[in-house]
Amino acid sequence: MIHRRTEDVPYVKVAMEGVEGTSMQWLFSRLEGAPNFSMRRFIISPGGRIGLHAHPWEHEILILSGRGEAFTPDQRASVGPGEAIYIPSDEPHGYENVSDEDLVFLCMIPNSGDTRPPSDG
């Protein structure tokens, strides 16, 4: 059993085109020996966003705190704590924090979506 407190896990700035004001933490991944999927925690600051993008792996998401909008080309959902989002693989999607507090959510991906270099955290 590995037991970690969120605040002890390093924050990584998300530096992708179309992304503003977003950092994330890899809570568990292949680096801890997880063989199948990774649990990440995202923090989008007020006014921040992750623009529309797509990739060949799915997301399973739970909003932890704050409010924001999740969108696809033809759907826009206002989301808040306790709400869950599923994004199928290859579906374009994005998120926006339209509130005045951090939007924090857990976002799980299969290990196939962990595109970090093999030796890198």
Sites of contact with a second copy (CB under 8 A): 1-7, 9, 27-28, 32-37, 39, 58, 60, 62, 64, 70, 72, 75, 77, 79, 82-89, 91, 93, 106, 108, 110
Angle in degrees, CA 42, 118, 54, rounded to 5: 45
In the bound complex, what is the minimum distance in angstroms from residue 116's beta carbon to a second copy? 17
Residue 61 burial by Cβ neighbours in a 10 Å radius (0-12, 13-18, 19+): buried
Smallest gap from residue 49 Cβ to a second copy (A): 16
Check: CB of residue 91 under 8 Å from CB of residue 57: no
**Cβ proximity to a second copy, 20 vs 58, nearer residue:** 58
**Which residue carries 């704050």 as its tokens?**
66
| Least separation in angstroms between CB 48 and a second copy | 20
